[in-house]
Every structure is written in structure tokens, then in C-alpha cells.
Amino acid sequence: MFNFLKALTIALGAALLFAIPAIAQSSSPAPALDLAMRVKIVYAEYHQANIAIQQLGTLTGVVSRLGQFALFRYGQGLGTQLGSV
């Protein structure tokens, strides 16, 4: 997932390198608007990936804790637990 974020950063840098000279040479605002749109899209993709990473960390913690509970509950085997009947 971190490679995805790195790729987005590289793509944004490349877009800026190609767009800045075009904006400087152009008298119309179209290249600047196109660059602004691309920056917003890249940031939205980065933000979405960042939230997904955070949620994955939370989910991993919950599943790990659930595994610990199951190990504690059934660690002695199913036949020796009073509540298993």
C-alpha cells in the first residue's frame, strides 16, 4: 500500500514538471485549471489510500484481539470447558 502512495507522489511530481512550463507559456487559464484538477484527484486518491491503511490497522487489531479471546476461552480444549455444553 505504501508503494501506491509513493507512486502517487511521483505521478504528481511528474505532472507538475510538465505542467509548470505549459502554464508559463499559455495565456489561457486552462492548463492551470487542468493542473489544479489533477492535484485534487491525486490528493483524493492519497486520502482514500491513507484511510484504508488506517482502517486495515484497526481491523488487524480487532481480529488479533478476537484470536486472543478464542485462545484463552478454548485453550484447554472443548471438552473441559463448563460453558461449552
pLDDT tens digit string along 23-66?
Answer: 666 666 777 788 788 888 888 888 998 899 999 999 999 999 99
Question: Is residue 42 included in any domain, yes or no?
Answer: yes
Q: What is the average per-residue pLDDT within 11-20?
A: 69
Domain count, the chain: 1
Host domain of residue 28: 2-77
Question: Is residue 34 included in any domain, yes or no?
Answer: yes
Question: Is residue 83 included in any domain, yes or no?
Answer: no
pLDDT on residue 59: 95
Question: Is residue 82 included in any domain, yes or no?
Answer: no
pLDDT on residue 22: 63
- Does residue 69 surpass a pLDDT of 60? yes
Question: Is residue 46 included in any domain, yes or no?
Answer: yes
Q: How far apart are CA 34 and CA 40, in angstroms?
A: 10
Closest CA to 2 of 54, 77, 71: 54
Question: Is residue 18 included in any domain, yes or no?
Answer: yes
Question: Is residue 84 included in any domain, yes or no?
Answer: no
DSSP 18: H
- pTM: predicted TM-score of the whole model, two decimal places: 0.52
- The answer to whether 36 and 23 have CB atoms below 8 angstroms apart is no
